[in-house]
Structure 1
Amino acid sequence: MLRILARQTNISSFNMTPIIDIVFLLIIFFLLVCQFIVAENFDVTVPDNISSGQPAPDADQQITTVTVMPDDTGRSIYAVGSEIITGKSREDISCTIAAQIDTQLQHLRRRKRVVCLRIDKHISFRDSQYALAGVSQSTATDLKLAVTKQKFEK
């Protein structure tokens, strides 16, 4: 009888170390990937009710986005991609925008260098001209303005 009980008490163990290693590697991988995939999540109200608006570009075409938006105090904030340009004088903003655009477009062919300009509709031309100057100083070959065809009511 003791032999039967001794055989039944042997509990087989399962080695969890490889599974834990894989889970930790996957967690680290997704944390890193999420850091690189940072979209331009700036809340910008682009001009609406534009009859000549065109659909968004294809996903295979890489576009660098330049955003001009107001902050809480009414000052204009400039961003290239997801990187906000801060602490610059107005004279340096266009040069910084051009340099950041060139950094993002350096690996693309000359004819594929497209910049999408997103300007909040409450920003005056006086403030948006620095973004336009930065795009013109860069190596971008095409400029697209972000607008919508529909009129949005708030």
Structure 2
Amino acid sequence: MKIPTRSQDRGFAFNITPLIDVVFLLIIFFLVASHFIRNENLEQIDLPFASQGKDDEDSPRRLVITVMPGGDLMSGMTITTATDFEQQLLRLIDQHGAAATELRIRADRSVSYSKVEPLLLTAARHGVTRVRFSVLKP
């Protein structure tokens, strides 16, 4: 007895390997682009000029706080309060210790010292001695 077979008319053959490659490349592109967007500052500030300074590399033990022209505090891309700043600082101190924790202050050149002083006092109160200010070279 002969078993009936279907005809092998597959029609148009489509190779999906290049399509899969393109999809993976797009996924990688969007992952990298989202990383750069996260590290971008929300608002540009005018940093003060300094006659000397040095470039630093990024550190996981560093907390960067931006003081906006109106006096608002920003951590990353989110507006934060003094209480939130203190909690973030305490988290870093718990992870790395007060001696290894660094505070980076990015303050607009028009901001008065009275807006920056509470940040310095909070850092000193918790034993953080590595405080740096972001400046521009002339």
Q: Same fold (TM over 0.5)?
A: yes
* Range 112-121 or range 60-69, more displaced: 60-69
Calculate the aligned-residue CA RMSD, in Å: 3.9
CA 25–104 in structure 1, closer or farther in 2 if over 3 Å, else same: farther
Question: Which residue of 2 is the match for residue 134 of structure 1?
Answer: 122
- 4+ runs of 1 displaced by more than 6 Å? none
Q: Which runs of 5+ in 1 are unaligned?
A: 1-6, 87-92
Q: Is the 8 A contact 2:61 2:92 kept in 1?
A: no
TM-score by length of 2: 0.67
The one-letter code matched in structure 2 to 1:100 is: Q
Count of aligned pairs = 130
Partner of 2:20: 19
The equivalences for 1:52-71 within 5 A come to 53-59=52-58, 62-70=61-69
Residues 107-118 of structure 1 mapped to structure 2, 5 A cutoff: 107-108=95-96, 110-118=98-106
Alpha-carbon deviations, 1:57-103, whole Å to 9, x = none?
Answer: 12456522111112xxxx311012333115xxxxxx2x331112233
Unaligned runs of 5+ in 2: 1-7
Query: What is the identity, as a one-letter code, of the residue corresponding to 1:114?
Result: E
Q: Report percent identity of matched pairs.
A: 24
Contact 2:99 2:127 in 1 (8 A): no
Distance 1:80 1:136 in 2: 19
1:126 CA drift (Å): 1.8
- CA, structure 1 residues 13+67, in 2 after alignment: closer, same or farther (shift >3 Å)? closer
TM-score (norm 1): 0.61
